[in-house]
Structure 1
Amino acid sequence: MELEEIKGEIRRRLEEYVKESPYRFNPDKEKVELILSGLAKRKEKLGFAYCPCRVPSGNEEEDEKIICPCAYHKEEIAKDGICLCGLFVRKER
C-alpha cells in the first residue's frame, strides 16, 4: 500500500473518531497534515499508527497505548485543551 493510501485510511478512521467524540482536529491544517503523514510513516514502517510524538518501547502491551488516538489524549485535552502531538483539540461549545 502506498504511503498516501495509508494516510487516507488513517484520516478516514480518525474523522470517524472525532465525529463521535468531544474532540476535533486542530484547526491548523498544515499541522494536521504533518501529523497524519507521521502516523502513516509509522504504520508503514512499524505496522501501527503510533503517535509521532511518543517512542514505541517494543513492549506490545505498552505500545498499544500509543496507537492514535492514544490512551493519553483525553487527559491531555481535558488539562490543556489539546493533545501532546497537537492533532486533537477540544470542540468549541
Structure 2
Amino acid sequence: MNVEAGKKALRFQFAPIVDKLGYKFNPAEEDVEFLLEAEVTFQRQYGIPYCPCQARTRDRAENMKIVCPCIPFHREHYDAMKRCWCGLFVHKDVTDPSALKQIPPSKFVKRKE
C-alpha cells in the first residue's frame, strides 16, 4: 500500500473512533497530512500506527498506550488540552487549534477520584 492509500485508510479507521470520543481531525490539514504520513511509516515498520510524538519503550503494555488514537489512555489530560499530544485530533468544538497549548505530563494534575 502506498503512503496516500495508507493515510486514507487511517482516516477511515480513526474518524468514527475519535468522533465517539468527542474529537475530530485537526482542521490544520497540513499538520494532519504530516502526522498521518509518520503513522503510515510506523505502521509499515512496526505493524502498528504509533503516535509519532510519543517515544516507544521496550514494554509492550506501555507501548499500547501510544497506539493511535491514544485518546482513551490519556483522556483526562487530552480533554484538559482539548487536543491529543501530537495535535492530530482536537475537541469537536475547536475552531482554532493554534490557540491550544500543550500541558506537559509533569505539569498536568489529575483529578482526584
User: TM-score interval w.r.t. the shorter chain?
Assistant: 0.7 to 0.9
What CA RMSD, in Å, does the superposition of the two structures yield over aligned residues? Answer: 1.6
Say how many residue pairs are matched: 92
Q: Distance in 2 between matches of 1:68 and 1:20?
A: 15
After TM superposition, the structure 1 = structure 2 runs for residues 4-83 of structure 1, keeping only pairs within 5 Å, are 4-70=4-70, 71-72=73-74, 74-83=75-84
3-state DSSP of counterpart to 1:65: helix
Separation in 2, partners of 1:27, 1:76:
21
Q: Shift in Å at residue 49 of structure 1?
A: 0.4
Query: Does the 8 Å contact 1:76/1:84 carry over to 2?
Result: no
Runs of 4+ that moved beyond 6 A: none
Measured against aligned partners, the alpha-carbon deviations of 1:49-68 in whole angstroms (never above 9, x if no partner) come to 00000111121111111000
- Name the aligned partner's letter for residue 26 of structure 1: N
User: How many Å apart are 1:23 and its aligned residue?
Assistant: 0.7
The aligned amino acid for 2:83 is I
| Counterpart secondary structure, 2:66 | coil
In 2, distance between residues paired with 1:59 and 1:77?
22
The answer to whether the 8 Å contact 1:56/1:63 transfers is yes
Larger Rg: 2
Structure 1: how far apart are the matches of 2:3 and 2:44? 7
* Percent identity over paired residues: 35
TM-score by length of 2: 0.73
| Structure 1 gap ranges (5+) | none
Stretches of structure 2 that go unaligned for 5 or more consecutive residues are: 95-113
Aligned equivalents of 1:58 and 1:48: distance in 2? 15
